[in-house]
Structure 1
């Protein structure tokens, strides 16, 4: 019985690997937060991307039209 108690006390006192476990827990919490944010903002991000793409397309189109009219 004393051997089991000794092994248990040594196991409880052993702190090797604690830091890596803490970093793994932090990384998993960060990943959950990022995934939750992406799921929550999915529609808004898609709308913003489409708005930016339309603005860039319009700007490029206007620049090309202006450049072509200047050359002619």
Structure 2
């Protein structure tokens, strides 16, 4: 039983069916295109989140300016 598990783990470790360079480039390209298309919405979301963080931190630490 232990030998079987060891052979399965060794086979999995040596398996070469990972992501290739082309697939990674395509995924990164799609992410960049989506980020460019939704740039304004992303900026608004991040700005809103940072304002909320600032507000909440001022509630916890009112005199920390």
TM-score, length basis structure 1: 0.52
1:30 matches 2:27: yes
Q: Which structure has greater helix proportion?
A: 1
Superposed CA RMSD in Å reads 2.2
1:64 matches 2:61: yes
Of structures 1 and 2, the one with the larger relative CO (CA 8 A, separation 6+) is 2
Rg bigger for which structure?
1
Correspondent of 1:40 among 32, 37, 47? 37
Structure 1: gaps spanning 5 or more residues: 1-18
Structure 2: gaps spanning 5 or more residues: 1-15
- 4+ runs deviating over 2 angstroms: none
SS in 2 for 1:62: helix
* Residues 28 and 64 of structure 1, relative CA distance in 2, 3 Å threshold: closer
**How many pairs are equivalent?**
46
